Amino acid sequence: MISVNDLRNGITIEIEGDIYTVVEFLHVKPGKGAAFVRTKLKNIKSGGVVERTFRAGEKVPQAVIERREMQYLYQSGDQYTFMDTENYEQLTLDGELIGPGVNFLKENLNVYVSLYQGKAIGVELPNTVELVVLETDPGVRGDTATNASKPARLETGYTLQVPLFINEGDKLKIDTRSGQYLGRA
């Protein structure tokens, strides 16, 4: 248990069976009445943000989240298999849990898996990955006057917009948070 007076950004707590990360907190001492703590909490599973007010001194259970470095091995249908880099145990996760990050998973990529009470609750990919272009239209020489783009399909099957000078076989740096092209690798 942790007192709400000790809440800080990034601390994880458990409320009504859900796990939340403290995004923002404010201790309020009004002129009359009891002090309270106003918080913004992000649900780890759904990603939704809720505002919640606690009485000063109230206690809430702290959720201990374990982050393990794991290596992505392979995909089988909608199941993705990871291996713990310390003890070589394998863990299979649903694509739903990984979310849009499945578009950037390639074999041997190291990721962080968040575990709560031994159960995986999320996967954190590196901010950028390097992927090879498998298919795109050929670039037209002299067509660089505008900031035009064209679609390109990457080795993971993900399709995104890239500048006209990108060709098949080029290795690109992709931002995993937004899915945007950052540059050539």
- Residue 15 sits in the same domain as residue 44: yes
Q: Given this model, what pLDDT does residue 144 score?
A: 61
Q: Which of 102, 124, 146 lies at the terminal end of a domain, its last residue? A: 124
Q: What pLDDT is attached to residue 183? A: 85
As given in the structure block, the two tokens for residue 82 are 């990871």
Domain termination residue (choose one: 35, 60, 85) = 60
Q: Which amino acid is at 161?
A: Q
Q: How many structural domains are present in the chain? A: 3
Considering the domain architecture, whether residues 161 and 116 belong to the same structural domain is answered as: no
Pairing, β 119-124 against β 128-136: unpaired
Q: Final residue of a domain: which of 74, 104, 124?
A: 124
Q: Which residues of the chain fall short of a pLDDT of 50? A: none
Rg of the chain over all Cα atoms, to the nearest angstrom: 22
Torsion-angle region of residue 33: left (phi > 0), alpha (psi -120 to 50) or beta?
A: left
What pTM was estimated for this model as a whole? Answer: 0.73
pLDDT of residue 171: 92
Q: What is the pLDDT of residue 150?
A: 86
In terms of domains, do 54 and 12 share one?
yes
Tokens, residue 57: 């001194």
pLDDT at 145: 61
Handedness of CA 160, 164, 170, 176 (dihedral sign): negative
- Strand duo 119-124 + 49-55: pairing: unpaired
Looking at the fold, whether 49 and 9 belong to one and the same domain comes out as yes
What domain range is 74 assigned to? 65-124
Q: What CATH number corresponds to the domain at position 107?
A: 2.40.50.140
Asked if 84 and 44 sit in the same domain, the reply is: no
pLDDT digits (tens, 9 = 90+) for 51-72: 999 988 889 998 888 888 999 9
Q: Are residues 38 and 23 in the same domain?
A: yes
